[in-house]
């Protein structure tokens, strides 16, 4: 059977979904490890990562079962959801690659405002910094964060803001994030193409005379 036939499409789709399952389990494991070792204390961050891992795991299971049994409904559901995920992830990845410094600062301000105080102090302790950005627009919030800051740098004359430290590596990090996101988005469109192709192929074991 040449590649592109029923067996090859089935094996390729199964292999792709096994990879998705491993990635989903990895996300769940990393989130649990980070919580267990106290690296991240915010339940929202942990819950978000676990939710993404569980979602990816469930979609991969649906795709794997659909591929093994050549189930038309499950394969249709799988490729529709995967295509929606592709559109969302492709858009986010392109945004990461095109984001300038002003947009990075706005994103950091938005994310910082949603963090719990415990998460902020943990971050300040780990990065040895205080507050986000010392700017006029958020001066009141910065003064409050500075008062509650547990970082050791407060004892010194110089203490950098967390925002400046993050922005130093933000461009490189966003490029890496965007590149990885683009790579996975193209594997998702590959999964959609394989699902469509495999779904429209006939199973030679179920009806051998169709190929005579």
- Identify the pLDDT of residue 137: 64
pTM score over 0.75: no
Instruction: Check residue 39 and give its pLDDT.
Output: 47
Tokens of 77: 């559901």
Cα 140–Cα 153–Cα 36 angle in degrees, nearest 5: 90
Please answer whether residues 6 and 201 qualify as being in contact, where contact means their C-beta atoms are separated by less than 8 angstroms.
yes
pLDDT value for 18 = 92
C-alpha span between 108 and 167 (Å, rounded):
9
Helix 139-148 to helix 117-127 angle (10° resolution) is 70
Predicted confidence at residue 207, as pLDDT, reads 54
**Within the chain, which residues score under 70 in pLDDT?**
1-4, 34-46, 136-138, 157, 204-212
Q: Residues near 34 by Cβ (< 8 Å), separated by ≥ 6?
A: 40, 46
105-144 tens-digit pLDDT: 787 777 777 777 888 888 888 888 888 777 766 677 778 8
The predicted pLDDT at position 212 comes to 38
Q: In whole angstroms, give the CA distance from residue 158 to residue 128.
A: 11
Determine the pLDDT at residue 76. 92
Q: Which residue has the tokens 């050791």?
A: 152
Q: What is the pLDDT of residue 89?
A: 83
Q: What is the pLDDT of residue 115?
A: 78
């Amino acid at each position: 059977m040449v590649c592109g036939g029923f067996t090859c499409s089935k094996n390729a789709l199964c292999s792709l979904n096994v990879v998705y399952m491993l990635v989903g389990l990895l996300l769940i494991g990393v989130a649990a490890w980070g919580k267990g070792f106290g690296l991240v204390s915010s339940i929202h961050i942990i819950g978000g990562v676990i939710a993404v891992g569980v979602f990816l795991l469930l979609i991969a299971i649906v795709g794997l079962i659909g591929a093994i049994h050549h189930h038309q409904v499950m394969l249709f559901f799988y490729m529709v959801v995967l295509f929606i995920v592709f559109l969302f992830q492709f858009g986010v990845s392109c945004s990461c690659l095109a984001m300038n410094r002003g947009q990075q600062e706005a994103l950091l301000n938005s994310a910082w405002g949603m963090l719990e105080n415990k998460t902020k102090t943990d971050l300040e302790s780990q990065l040895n910094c205080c507050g986000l950005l010392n700017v006029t627009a958020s001066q009141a919030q910065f003064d409050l964060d500075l008062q509650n800051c547990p970082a050791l740098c407060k004892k010194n004359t110089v203490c950098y803001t967390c925002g400046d430290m993050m922005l130093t590596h933000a461009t490189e990090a966003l490029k890496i994030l965007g590149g990885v996101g683009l790579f996975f988005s193209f594997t998702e469109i590959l999964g959609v193409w394989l699902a469509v192709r495999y779904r429209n192929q006939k199973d030679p074991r179920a009806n051998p005379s169709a190929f005579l």
